[in-house]
Structure 1
């Protein structure tokens, strides 16, 4: 049985963008108890997606471990840049949890108290990058992090290479004037109707709609190898090395325990980029590990079947989180 409709709370407002998070609650223990929290961040190349576009089987797995699951929206690039938009929003969400605001929002749910000493984060694709962003340049990092095929190692030449297999999906005649209409969206949106992983809010998988500037813009940047310059213009001037946003460059001895899950057949974020992150984690002495999933492409979490080999392999990442933050009081 999949999770019920979540509670939704606004955790931030920025220049008119009202930014919300969905909260899924595990079965309660019959008396007020503290529950670990996991933050589950959607993918979408920082330009697409929203909080209902995550793997509900993964959410259910987390609930069965007795965790409160917090699934945030964030502002979407390029109307705001990566550092000051999505990354800052998710960092502010972590502060919102730590400072007691989630507890206050759950005031009517009297059986649930937030265990602020056991807060972990995970995400898929760009969501994995944002989860890793909770491990550096924050007052108090997440206690553990799981990245599923997150985009990292932004200095690698791969990030400026065109992807012909994506370009082949684009219709002819997409003008700059049409694509640039995305910059007119105000306030900056926090959701799009299609994610890079192909999910829609109804749960029916379909491709992008290129009559929408956002879909066309996002896939054009991916196809042309210009995603990073589009979502992080500072990379052209003040932060040419991506020092402020690249998890690979920000692994220090204080980085949280981290696990990586990545498909060996990924053509959108090559697995070698995650292997570089793992290498840096090991060099820094961080508790870490990596699960390589055979024959899986990017975004496999959206379509994997519960009980399949892929499902069982990616669960190693959640087992790792459990080893750090523990089970909740109702997990059995």
Structure 2
């Protein structure tokens, strides 16, 4: 009796999870409290298949020698779990189809052993690239091993966090991945909001780019081959650094802040368009107000100045955008809108959608979206920004 009750309770909980995940797979616009289930589908979707099968099995076992209510309840729970298994297969199939279109090879082994892509700053590698109001702005220098025969290409990596949190320790496996391909990585901090940093954060990133160029010889870096990459708020700032030109001066006296290419993961490119979007989590509005100092109606000029789409023009560097199609923090339509503008003015671009991908899908290093992203970013850099 006790064992049967435990089986039934476990099966019920699994069925509730599978039912919630079915709901977010079937719909894009979901209540905010269901966003966590969208993240589960995005980052751990493959695990739902064996979990659902286990739930169905437990439900059927709980029916053994049970009363009528338990028997019929067990059937219902098993059916929900089975339907969840079928639904969980849709994101898996879509990911493999997109990988095939991109020429990427997905690995179940990599998915299972990938682990987390979260990290912390490495104080042993930290260097101050600017000092403002007595506080150092730091970057971590991560170099490939050995001495290159020719100066290396460099990547300035910009962390996300809604302009209000996060640090240069974000994405350590991306940094190592770049090092393994011969790129020097400079992971940067910048001033966070509040107070409003709409003009200061992009200025800090441009300062960091200029600092890398000024100190290129010390790190065996080619100052003419610098790229900037970031995700979310970092994607916004990476695009700002690549696009804004003289309209956004750096926060330190550096003569050259130009870059050869830019890649942005799920970037916020039009802050005003995102504000009050009913499909997004409510925190987005708060972050936008903290960053700009008001609403789009109150400070429209700041929203425009802090949006990379404002600066689209001819002559911008090649741009790669990677964005989850189920992003409930920065909608996928943001990247679509940007590439339409880039196409209109003749800028080289590439947009890679991640099917069923939520915001920050690459926090899981083995996730299907991350595997696709590694291939796409690698091919983009070989063509547009080779390490040698």
- TM-score normalised over the length of structure 1: 0.71
Q: Which residue of 2 aligns with 1:132?
A: 239
Q: Which residue of 2 aligns with 1:101?
A: 215
Runs of 4+ residues over 4 Å off in structure 1: 1-6, 234-239
Q: Which residue of 2 aligns with 1:229?
A: 289
1 or 2, which has the higher helix percentage?
A: 2
C-alpha distance in 1 between matches for 2:257 and 2:139: 20
Given the alignment of the two structures, is residue 150 of structure 1 paired with residue 270 of structure 2, yes or no?
A: no
Q: Which residue of 2 aligns with 1:248?
A: 309
Given the alignment of the two structures, is residue 281 of structure 1 paired with residue 342 of structure 2, yes or no?
A: yes
Render the CA deviation track for 1:21-62: whole Å, top value 9, x for unaligned.
001111224x6630000011111000001111x222211211
Given the alignment of the two structures, is residue 323 of structure 1 paired with residue 386 of structure 2, yes or no?
A: no
Given the alignment of the two structures, is residue 17 of structure 1 paired with residue 78 of structure 2, yes or no?
A: no
The answer on whether the counterparts of 1:229 and 1:236 sit within 8 Å (CA) in structure 2 is no
C-alpha distance in 2 between matches for 1:80 and 1:70: 25
The answer on whether the counterparts of 1:243 and 1:250 sit within 8 Å (CA) in structure 2 is no
RMSD, matched Cα:
2.5
The answer on whether the counterparts of 1:262 and 1:274 sit within 8 Å (CA) in structure 2 is yes
Question: What is the CA-CA distance between 1:299 and the residue it aligns to?
Answer: 0.8
Q: Which residue of 2 aligns with 1:33?
A: 150
Partner residue of 2:355 out of 294, 299, 303 = 294
The answer on whether the counterparts of 2:364 and 2:370 sit within 8 Å (CA) in structure 1 is no
Q: Which residue of 1 aligns with 2:51?
A: none
The answer on whether the counterparts of 2:175 and 2:185 sit within 8 Å (CA) in structure 1 is yes
Q: Which residue of 2 aligns with 1:200?
A: none
Question: What is the CA-CA distance between 1:237 and the residue it aligns to?
Answer: 4.9
Q: Which residue of 2 aligns with 1:68?
A: 184
Given the alignment of the two structures, is residue 121 of structure 1 paired with residue 236 of structure 2, yes or no?
A: no
C-alpha distance in 2 between matches for 1:101 and 1:239: 37
Q: Name which one, 1 or 2, has greater alpha-carbon Rg.
A: 2
Partner residue of 1:90 out of 177, 200, 205 = 205
- TM-score normalised over the length of structure 2: 0.61
Question: What is the CA-CA distance between 1:230 and the residue it aligns to?
Answer: 1.9
The answer on whether the counterparts of 2:323 and 2:352 sit within 8 Å (CA) in structure 1 is yes
Q: Which residue of 2 aligns with 1:59?
A: 175
Q: Which residue of 1 aligns with 2:23?
A: none
The answer on whether the counterparts of 1:144 and 1:324 sit within 8 Å (CA) in structure 2 is yes
- Where relative contact order (Cα < 8 A, 6+ residues apart) is larger, the structure is 1
The answer on whether the counterparts of 2:163 and 2:287 sit within 8 Å (CA) in structure 1 is no
**Consecutive unaligned residues in structure 2, runs of 5 or more:** 1-113, 246-255
**Consecutive unaligned residues in structure 1, runs of 5 or more:** 107-111, 168-220
C-alpha distance in 1 between matches for 2:216 and 2:189: 15
Q: What is the 5 A alignment of 1:198-277?
A: 221-222=283-284, 225-233=285-293, 237=298, 239-240=300-301, 242-277=303-338
